[in-house]
């Protein structure tokens, strides 16, 4: 892409512009954490929160606070203006673009096709797990990465934050960001729960249809709202802290477990089916008013904490002291295996 070409995806220009999009903090002006003491208090709050409410909050860390919450597929779709690429037939729609990514990944001779065949996963059962794997390995998808662990979010935010020059044009260049959705602010429906029809004798074809990614895109004429979001989770444990293999959605997602990143990152995904609406804009007043009557309505938008980059090194060391380092979050099994050999040999000297 030409360096002087204007990108279609916009960024926030000021803290004030951004702060009105999110739930306002009573403690931090413009939702900004500026001092070491504020950071310590914030850290302690979420550490206490997770003790009794694990899996009831989702966190996303971003190295640059100025970026809006667009998925990689949205960025590719908009910045390259893929809708207008010349092709025979009708104009390409966003959902068709996403389905092409899935279908190409599941062709008979691809690795993913063989993985799902090994696990006995067929039909539309493969589609969301396919997106999960593509997201882990860098392909554009309509998924956004989140985590149940706020320290993991801090790791990714600090890992990819850049230190700005002495003079900055955008005040947000001085901040990285942590986003938080709690079940008190908005409970996103989980993909597997969409399958559980109230009808005691549901139509098998209808259930199969509900498992399709294509069926998760709203009608083009329907106004965007947060009810269109879905949550996709690989490793959620039950209230006793155990993994439940009987959960009907765990079998398809177990096909992603060969990715060694899943467990340390405690990850989940949020599926945004809209081509050009960032996640936070689905909580605007207009979008909230578009939610159908009788549906569960969120109390508000979700939260953001803009953390000043002067705290960057402090945060890195704070989470490292609890074991959240690059070697843990993004493990390399060859390095791990080699380290085991060295430890054993050293212990025999």
Predicted confidence band at 248 (pLDDT cuts at 50, 70, 90)? Answer: very low
pLDDT at 216: 92
Q: List 308's β-bridge partners, or say none.
A: 175
Give tens-digit pLDDT for 50-74: 998 888 899 999 999 999 999 999 9
Residues 6 or more apart from 24 whose CB is under 8 A from it? Answer: 31
Predicted confidence band at 3 (pLDDT cuts at 50, 70, 90)? Answer: very low
pLDDT at 208: 55
CA dihedral 131, 136, 137, 143 (to 10 degrees): 50
Whether the Cβ atoms of residue 150 and residue 178 lie closer than 8 Å to each other: yes
- DSSP 8-state symbol, 247: S
Residue 331 backbone phi and psi in degrees, to 5: -70, 150
- DSSP 8-state symbol, 26: S
Residues for the chain: how many in total? Answer: 349
More confident residue, 57 or 121: 57
pLDDT at 179: 98
The edge-to-edge listing of strands for the beta sheet with 32-33 is: 32-33, 303-308, 175-182, 57-62, 143-147, 267-271, 230-233
pLDDT at 120: 77
Residue 232 backbone phi and psi in degrees, to 5: -125, 120
Record the tokens describing residue 98, joined without a space.
């996403």
DSSP readout, 289-300?
A: HTSPTTS---SS
When pLDDT is averaged across residues 221-225 and rounded to a whole number, the result is: 91
Q: Is the pLDDT of residue 190 over 50?
A: yes
When pLDDT is averaged across residues 194-210 and rounded to a whole number, the result is: 51
Q: Is the pLDDT of residue 299 over 80?
A: no
Say what the pTM is.
0.88
More confident residue, 117 or 155: 155
pLDDT at 142: 97
Q: How far apart are CA 243 and CA 287, in angstroms?
A: 36
Lowest mean pLDDT among 1-10, 137-146, 248-257, 303-312: 248-257
Q: How far apart are CA 322 and CA 319, in angstroms?
A: 5
pLDDT at 258: 55
Give tens-digit pLDDT for 96-113: 999 999 999 999 889 888
């Amino acid at each position: 892409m030409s360096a002087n070409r204007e990108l279609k995806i916009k960024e926030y220009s000021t803290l004030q512009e951004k702060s009105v999009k999110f739930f306002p903090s009573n403690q931090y002006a413009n939702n900004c954490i500026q001092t070491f003491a504020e950071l310590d208090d914030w850290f302690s709050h979420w550490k206490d929160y997770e003790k009794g409410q694990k899996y009831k909050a989702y966190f996303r860390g971003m190295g640059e606070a100025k970026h809006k919450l667009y998925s990689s597929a949205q960025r590719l779709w908009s910045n390259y203006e893929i809708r207008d690429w010349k092709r025979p037939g009708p104009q390409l729609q966003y959902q068709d673009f996403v389905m092409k990514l899935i279908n190409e990944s599941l062709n008979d001779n691809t690795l993913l096709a063989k993985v799902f065949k090994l696990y006995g996963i067929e039909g539309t059962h493969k589609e969301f797990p396919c997106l999960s794997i593509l997201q882990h390995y860098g392909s554009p998808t309509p998924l956004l990465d989140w985590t149940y662990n706020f320290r993991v979010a801090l790791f990714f935010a600090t890992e990819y934050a850049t230190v700005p020059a002495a003079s900055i044009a955008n005040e947000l260049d001085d901040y990285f960001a942590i986003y938080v959705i709690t079940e008190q602010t908005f409970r996103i429906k989980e993909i597997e729960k969409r399958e559980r029809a109230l009808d005691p004798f549901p139509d098998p074809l209808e259930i199969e249809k509900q498992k399709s990614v294509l069926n998760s895109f709203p009608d083009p004429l329907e106004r965007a709202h947060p009810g269109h979001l879905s949550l996709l989770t690989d490793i959620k444990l039950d209230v006793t802290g155990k993994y439940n293999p009987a959960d009907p959605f765990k079998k398809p997602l177990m096909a992603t477990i060969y990715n060694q990143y899943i467990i340390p990152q405690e990850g989940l995904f949020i599926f945004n089916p809209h081509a050009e609406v960032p996640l936070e804009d689905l909580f605007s007043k207009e979008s909230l008013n578009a939610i159908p009557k009788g549906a569960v309505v969120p109390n508000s938008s979700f939260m953001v904490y803009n953390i000043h980059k002067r705290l960057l090194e402090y945060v890195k060391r704070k989470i490292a002291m609890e074991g959240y380092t690059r070697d843990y979050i993004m493990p390399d099994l060859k390095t791990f295996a080699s380290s085991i050999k060295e430890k054993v040999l050293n212990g025999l000297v």
